[in-house]
Structure 1
Amino acid sequence: MLSVVACAVLVFAGMPTTMNYLSTFLPAGAVETISKMSFQQHFESIQMGVLQFKDIAYFVLLIAGWIAGCAVVLDENKNLRKAAAVAFVLIIAFSFISISGNAGKNLKADVTEQKIYSLSNGTKAILGKLNQPIRMKLYYSKTAAMKGPDQIRYFNNYYEFVKSLLEEYAAAGKGMVQLEVIDPRPYSDDEVAATRYGLKKFPITEEENFFFGLVVQTQFGVEKTIPVFSPNRQNFVEYDISYLIDTAITRQKKRVGILSSLPVMGDDVTPYMARMMQMQGQQPTQPWGIATQLKQQYELKNIPVDANKIEDVDVLLVIHPKDLSEQTVFAIDQFVINGGRTIVCVDPYSVVDVPPQQQMMQMQMQHDPSSELDKLLAHWGLEMPKNTFAGDMSIAVEAALRQGERPQKIIGYLQTNSECFNKNVAISAELNQVDFLFSGVLKELPMTEEEKKEMNLDRVPLVMTTKQGNSWRVNNQYELMTPDMGTLMKKFTAGTEPVNMGYLVTGKLKSAFPKGIDVETEEPMDANDPNGPKKTQHFDGVAQAAENCAVAVFADVDFISDVLAYRNSFFGTMVVGDNSAMLLNAIDDLCGSSELISIRSRGNFKRPFVVVDDIEAQADLQTAEEENKINAKIAGFEDELRKILSSAQEGQEDLVGNTILQKKKELELNILEAKRQLQEIKKVKLQRKEKLGNTLRNFNMLSAPAVILGISIVLGVYRGSRKRRYISHASDA
């Protein structure tokens, strides 16, 4: 009886209702101590798949102490000294539990399939570089969640996952990371602070608000927040937390350099010069919407297209590189090799690259709207075939090319959907729609495993077509200047695999100029012959990166132009779709350290019932096949009825009527039979699920008693054999 009472106390001690009640008259420290002694407190991590030394020690010491206490109680010589001995044994057991909880709190084993409760090497490297202490405040309204609806209670499991991960941060921080878990109660200072930090609150009752966010603070007053831990970002929890830490301890505003043959930055003129140009009937070129949006977050720097060296920028954005000199290509190459983060947008046919109107018609026809960096792409393990474009009928946009024409699908105008993005990369994980206009195709160049290993090369697709996508070609660019959609459609054939339009490449990349370059100078080789050959100057470069580089490559320029990414409205310029978001995500991701870029999507802490899902999928497949058969039967009967009606001759109306009536009855009987078969399939599916559930339930219910029964039988046999040996020895004596 005493054991049952003790077990009940240890179980109920950790329940939220009990904790709420005890908190009304006990100090917070006492309530926390009682909670730590409960079964639930130590079983939660085991249930999640994390074996911690403190939890194992808790159960081992508790069992050992209780067995020792029971042995004393069961002793026939019962007195006050025995009771004191029991109390002393239990006190020692709980003391050792407390000591082991503090001494071995960092000893744990993550036995989950995808190691979702262990930090990645990238995060450990970020924490290892901390040069100042940081404080992490996890706000979670645990008390309010227990009073909320089921949708809010779901967050309890998610909260345990986040808290466990943050505890890993604190342990790996080696004293540089302090974790504070806060339950903001109504009208408290904690609730006011959570609101001041900008954490999102969700009203549950008239007084209770629900918070679930994180605040990272440095000793220099920098504050970064995750307003709310959204379940949609569960796979990127570690990335989001590490991003907060990485950006909190580094310079606030990053510098982005833009090198482009298009007027992305607009005319860099003062307001006075702009007014003077307007007075002369000229209009200064306005910056692209993407440049205006970037200025709100970053410090922009214009890199000339004839730059000999690129420096003093955190991220280089290369847009539509056309006719670049070898020295400029070399400058881009060396910027990448020396660890500079780079985003390249090339295009086999850019719609926004139009020749000036004042040019003669012949000059306009000779204008080349394509761009490439083939030499660099090849050393990054990619290629973009010339005059080759991505196509996909399932996501092709229907529009009219010319006024008065009927809208038709344009094979080069693609509107990607959520299935077209890599959900395992932070850049593209949450994108839903990006429009592309005559986008090129990016392909991975074949490389040996030794080459990949030497470079630590990782080529990750970011955006692609659906499985029905394929590439299509034109003979020359003039076919797209006045396109005939019917002719272009004939060039396309649906495929079976996605076509990639964007990549993230990381690794110790090799230079396209391993021996450097020789640049011709203005100085002649012969001073007496100024028009003769010029002297050359040699520039050395780094042949291979010492650390991992990161380059994002997109085979389209138009997707970030004002044609697709923005739209003018009564309220001003509006963002359209996720076009600009994809570029901003790429810049945001590359602005982080190399360790941050290496952090990929984590596994999901919600493990699906695979067996149940397989049963449902098989049953659904059977149902679909049966439904198709039924529909085919119905169509066959209807076709047969039409044939009878069409072949009926005058004077056969009664015969036809009887035939129709008979066929109608047969059709109804077949439909009823088919529905009965469908019900049987659903019944079998339900029975299989119930059988599986009963099996799991019985296993959970009977496994523990079976183990205890087995141990009891073994102990009984052992004690019986010892007793028989004792009796035999006594009789011999």
Structure 2
Amino acid sequence: MTDTNTPISKPGLLARPGVQIFLAALLFLSVTVIADRYLRGVRLDLTEDALYTLSGGTKDVLGQFDEPVTLTFYFSKSLAAPYPQLLSYGKRVEDMLRAFEARNPENIHVSIIDPEPFSEAEDDAVAAGLKGIQLGDGSTLYLGLRATDSTDGNGVIPFFSEEREKFLEYDLVKMLAGLDRSGQKTLGLLTQLPMQFGPGGPQAMMQGQAQPYVLYDQLGEAFKVTEIQPDFDALPEGLDILLVVHPPMLSEDQLFAIDQYVLKGGRTLVFLDPHSEAMNPRATAPSASTLGPLLGAWGVQMPEGKVVGDASLAQRVQMGGYGPDSVKDYVFWLAVSKGFLAEDDPVSGSINNLNMASAGVLEPLEGATTRFTPLVRTSTVAMLFDASRAVGMPDPDSLIRDLAPTGQAYTLSARVTGPAKTAFPERVAAAGGPVQNPASAEGEINLVITSDSDLFDDRFWVQLQDLLGQRIVIPLAGNGSYVLNMADQLSGSEALLELRGRGISKRPFDVVDDIRREAEAKYLAEEQRLENDLQATEDRIAQLEAQKPEGSAVLSGDQEVEIDRFRDQLLETRKALREVQRSLRSEIDNLGSWLAAINIVLMPLLIIAFALLRVVLRRRKRANQLG
């Protein structure tokens, strides 16, 4: 028999909820203090691109320093205390610098200075070229870095902008790699784009409004850039790489010079275009570029006067007006995501996305001796349009309706390598005789060809901000990484390849976009049918009204009846058209509402349900123990 009078033992002190909460809070605070003091360099990096872990390229660059380098970090920590976001970012920079020092402690030395107002440290920060934020009390908050080496190399980051936090490691390594410019490679640039002036060209420069392309500045930081004038007679000597971007019309002599440079092993990057929007956004005819017979000699062709449209990769663009109808898919502006970039290539595989505009396509020639390796492709929901349709202000809806997918994935950029012959065999043969630098009839070539030059234009891939007179560049796509990494890789320098693409990612809602595109395609087709019926009805009414008897202003009874019938049909058609447009907006809005509900309501409900379930299970467990 069970003894029902057995007393139930009372829970001990540690079993009381209040004591448990107090001990948990004490433990949390203790762990936080210990971690902040002794484990600040230790972190668990769960980001997809490992943004908080030193990359292999960074470790390689840091390991190459065999001379002392001093990194002086000016951080107004005491002034940043009231601003948690700035304080946290400053600590992140300090942690990154400490991690750099730990990789090469013998040659990399970090100094952290808190420049108090009106102190010598503040004077040093100003003298180093740092910029600060003026606070309300008149003091200046500094968050910048100066790097120096033993050979008078000097690098400065005037102020660490929070907008570039994802690119912190790259900015630091780029500055360190630039301390010694003696080993920089030489890049020859041939282009007719206003890269060194920006929009407005030389006129903008004369008005003091020049703003060079971001990519032009970045090329100048990574290479010794030699500009090749449009009327050049010969390519400069000693080039490590030749960059040809939307070139002007070239003479046969100039094309022959490029032909010989490539055949003799010169590494080359070529960006052609069936219509360059960067050249003249207000053009009334396509602005195309070509290299004449050179592409054919390299085993490649680019269909003349054709641009590719892609419904799957189309960018959403603002077309004026308000509401959902003002934003449309523009099939000539492509947002090429990672799935359409060759992952096994060291360059295209290191970036996440590219933005291109009015691009052409590349195709290997049948029987070519060269190897054609695609790097960037379209989706299969694409087709070729006449380049004239990309000029001016094309109608996005019309382009979508006319797009009949061919099922082919077109190549936008490709590596071309292997044996090739000259495009000018007659000139090579005519040269004859022993000369110091004889012309080559054939050779091994190594180049990359891309069928778009607009990817250099800032408006397609970066957002620009001004902070304390410093131009802050926020990449929205990997265009800069693609060009710089390709130039680095072809010229034999790969230290920064892994770094440039990190942090640049656009994560599209693929399922949402597919649903939206399907809805738009369905309603646009119905809208077009109704508009055709509407036009036909209006034409029929106009014809009937024109059939009045000569000299009479009165229609016959049958004509009036028929006109009334057509007018009723006209009103019904207009009503149906409005309903189609309303349905399109409604379906897209409903989709947005469902997503908002999932984000706002569903997740909190799941958390509450989990908490309630845990409470119920704990009560059952306690009841079983007491029973």
- Tell me which amino acid in the other structure corresponds to 1:688: F
Corresponding residue for residue 311 of structure 1: 237
Any idea what SS the aligned residue of 2:382 has? strand
Match for residue 190 of structure 2? 259
Unaligned runs of 5+ in 1: 1-10, 17-37, 50-109, 267-285, 355-363, 401-406, 446-450, 527-535, 566-575, 605-616, 622-674, 696-733
The one-letter amino acid of 1:595's match is E
Aligned 8 A contact 1:431 1:578 in 2: no
Q: Root-mean-square deviation (CA), in Å?
A: 6.8
Q: Would you say 1:440 and 2:360 are equivalent positions?
A: yes
Q: Is the 8 A contact 1:306 1:328 kept in 2?
A: no
Q: 2:115 aligns with which of 184, 191, 199?
A: 184
How far, CA to CA, are the matches of 2:135 and 2:392 in structure 1? 60
TM-score, normalised to structure 2, is: 0.50
Matched, 1:43 2:18: no
Equivalent position to 1:238, from 163, 169, 189? 169
**What does the per-residue CA deviation read over 1:175-197, in whole Å, with 9 as the maximum and x for residues that have no partner?**
33332222333333222222332
- Alignment partner, residue 195 of structure 1: 126
Is residue 371 of structure 1 aligned with residue 306 of structure 2?
A: no
**Which residue of structure 2 lines up, in the alignment, with residue 555 of structure 1?**
452
Q: How many residues align?
A: 452
Are 2:50 and 1:139 equivalent residues in the alignment?
no
The 5 A counterparts of 1:547-626 are 553=450, 555-556=452-453, 560=457, 586=483, 590=487, 594-600=493-499
* Closer/same/farther in 2, CA of residues 217 and 580 from structure 1, 3 Å limit: same
Distance in 1 (CA, whole Å) between partners of 2:425 and 2:297 is: 21
Q: Does 1:162 align with 2:96?
A: yes
1:219 aligns with 2:155: no
Q: Deviations over 1:319-351 (max 9, x none)?
A: 33567756344345358x5456x3x32112457
Matched, 1:510 2:407: no
Aligned with 2:262: secondary structure?
A: helix
Percent identity reads 18
Is the aligned partner of 1:683 residue 2:619?
Answer: no
402, 411, 429: which is aligned to 1:491? 402
Q: Is 1:347 the counterpart of 2:273 in the alignment? A: yes
Given that 1:552 and 1:586 are in contact with CA atoms closer than 8 Å, whether structure 2 keeps it comes out as no
C-alpha displacement at 1:318, in angstroms?
1.2
SS in 2 for 1:186: coil
> What residue number does 1:151 align with?
85
Q: Distance in 1 between matches of 2:354 and 2:141?
A: 31
Name the structure 2 match of 1:543: 444
Which structure ranks higher in relative contact order (CA pairs < 8 Å, sequence separation ≥ 6)?
2
- Matched to 1:543, the amino acid is E
Summarize deviations over 1:331-379 as a string: whole Å, max 9, x none: 45358x5456x3x32112457999xxxxxxxxx99x9945368976998
Q: Could you tell me how far apart the structure 1 residues matched to 2:97 and 2:364 are?
A: 40
Distance 1:584 1:430 in 2: 7
Residues in 1 aligned to 2:116 and 2:328: alpha-carbon distance in whole angstroms: 57
Q: Give 5+ residue unaligned stretches, structure 2.
A: 1-27, 198-206, 463-472, 504-508, 513-596, 618-627
Q: Secondary structure at the match of 2:274?
A: coil
**Structure 2 CA distance for aligned equivalents of residues 186 and 409 of structure 1:** 52
**Letter of the 2:444 counterpart:** A
**Deviation string for 1:493-538 (max 9, x for gaps)?**
589999886x697xxx734527998452595999xxxxxxxxx965
- Tell whether the 8 Å contact from 1:396 to 1:410 is kept in structure 2 after alignment: yes
Contact in 2 for aligned 1:258/1:317 (Cα 8 Å): yes
Letter in 2 for 1:302: I
| CA shift in 2, pair 1:396/1:165, >3 Å | same
- Classify 1:238/1:499 alpha carbon distance in 2 versus 1 (closer, same or farther; 3 Å): farther
Distance 2:364 2:432 in 1: 44
1:43 alignment partner AA: L
> Which structure would you say has the larger Rg?
1
Alignment partners' CA distance in 2, 1:122 and 1:44: 23
After TM superposition, the score normalised by the length of structure 1 is 0.44
Structure 1 equivalent of residue 575 of structure 2:
none
Secondary structure of the 1:191 match is helix
Distance in 1, Cα, partners of 2:461 & 2:97: 42
- 1:397 and 1:494, CA in 2 relative to 1: closer, same or farther beyond 3 A? farther
How far has the Cα of 1:389 moved from its partner? 1.7
Deviations 1:208-241 (A, max 9, x none): 6543322111334332112233444333333222
* Aligned match of 1:472: 383
User: Residue 351 of structure 1 contacts residue 437 of structure 1 at CA under 8 Å; is this kept in 2?
Assistant: yes
**Distance in 2 separating the partners of 1:241 and 1:347:** 35
Letter in 2 for 1:395: R
Q: In structure 2, do the counterparts of structure 1 residues 219 and 512 end up closer, same or farther at CA, with 3 Å as the change threshold?
A: same
* C-alpha distance in structure 2 between counterparts of 1:396 and 1:317, whole Å: 30
After superposition, the Cα gap between the structure-2 partners of 1:239 and 1:498, relative to the gap in structure 1 and judged at 3 Å, is farther
